[in-house]
Amino acid sequence: MLERNSRRKIILTLFAFSALFLAHAQENNTVNGPQCVLPGLVYQYNVKAVTKENEKVKLCIENGILLTGSSACIEAISLPFIRVQWQEGKTAGKITVSSQAGKAELAVNISAPLNPGTIATMDRQTVSFNTAAPSLTCTPASGGHCSPTFIYQWERSADKLQWIAIAAGTTSNLSISARLDRTTYFRRKVIETRSQAVGYSNEITVFVSAQSRPK
């Protein structure tokens, strides 16, 4: 009976040791945060580093700037998070965390900034008094996210200060039947739905000729 209990204790001890060893072995360095980013903005990334006592963690950035300093790599005993500003003109970046427990990497896609498009029609047009506004064509929007989707809203203004949304102007190009009785300015507003980035096309002026008087 005593021998059986001893064997049981040995087995339980080995099992506990194995479980502890596996739990420790499964601990790895990790870095988490946004993987689709816009250049120039600041993003925060959470870092989990498995280290021994007084061991420093090494963290390096590719195609980004660490807000803690000018170097692309830093070493610290405690590094729970970092803030990064990704560089314009680059399409990909990477964060690498290294310690004796191993290395963790996070790949980042750097999107082009939002390009709201350009009204392709000439900058100035003239129509007769009380004539329908001309159709306006604008190039497609792009950028703003790695997988962008866009909302379009055309706007008009009488003074280039106060802009009013055109109810029927929610498509890429503008075609409305509204008649103009004064010089009016038009532009297209673009919203990228994932990043909520907002941009505006160039403005176009539609001059309205003076109302003709009966003879």
Q: From 58, 85, 110, give the residue that closes a domain.
A: 110
CA-based nearest residue to 64, from 31, 97, 95: 95
Distance CA 52, CA 121 (A): 65
| Residue 19 structure tokens | 């479980």
Please check the confidence at residue 13 and state whether its pLDDT lies above 60: no
Poorest-pLDDT segment among 96-105, 111-120, 126-135, 161-170:
126-135
> Most confidently modeled of 69-73, 77-81, 156-160, 207-211?
156-160
Cα–Cα distance for residue pair 139/133, rounded to 1 Å: 19
How large is the average pLDDT for residues 177-185? 90
24 has pLDDT over 50:
no
Does the reported pTM lie above 0.75? no
Domain-terminating residue out of 82, 110, 138 = 110
Residues 48-76: tens digit of each pLDDT: 988 888 888 999 999 999 998 778 999 98
Domain match, 91 and 135 both: no
Q: Taking the mean position of all CA atoms in its chain, how far away is CA 101?
A: 32
Which of 50, 82, 110 is the endpoint of a domain?
110
> Structural domain of residue 128, as residue ranges?
124-208
Please give the Cα distance from 28 to 73 (Å, whole number): 20
**Closest C-alpha to 183, from 121, 118, 124:** 124
Task: Based on the fold, state whether residues 146 and 199 are members of the same structural domain.
Answer: yes
Same domain flag for 88 and 137: no
Q: Where does the pLDDT of residue 162 fall: very low under 50, low under 70, confident under 90, or very high at 90 and above?
A: very high
pLDDT value at residue 115 = 97
Are the C-beta atoms of residues 47 and 105 closer than 8 Å to each other? no
Give the pLDDT score at 21.
38
The pLDDT of residue 125: 80
Based on the fold, state whether residues 32 and 68 are members of the same structural domain: yes
Q: Which tokens sit at 207?
A: 């001059």
Three-point CA angle 30, 147, 61, nearest 5°: 35
Asked whether residue 17 carries a pLDDT value surpassing 60, the answer given is no
Residues 103 and 151 in one domain: no
Based on the domain organization, do 106 and 34 belong to the same domain? yes
Full DSSP string of 21-69: HHHHHT---EEES-SEE-TTSEEEEEEE----TTPPEEEEEESEEETT-
Residue 140 lies in a domain: yes
CB-CB contact of 209 with 181 (8 Å): no
Count of structural domains, the chain: 2
pLDDT by residue (tens digit) across 100-119? 888 999 999 999 999 999 99
The letter for the amino acid at 55 is E
31: pLDDT strictly greater than 70: yes
Q: Of 49, 85, 53, 50, which Cα lies nearest the Cα of 66?
A: 85
- Are 35 and 86 in the same domain? yes
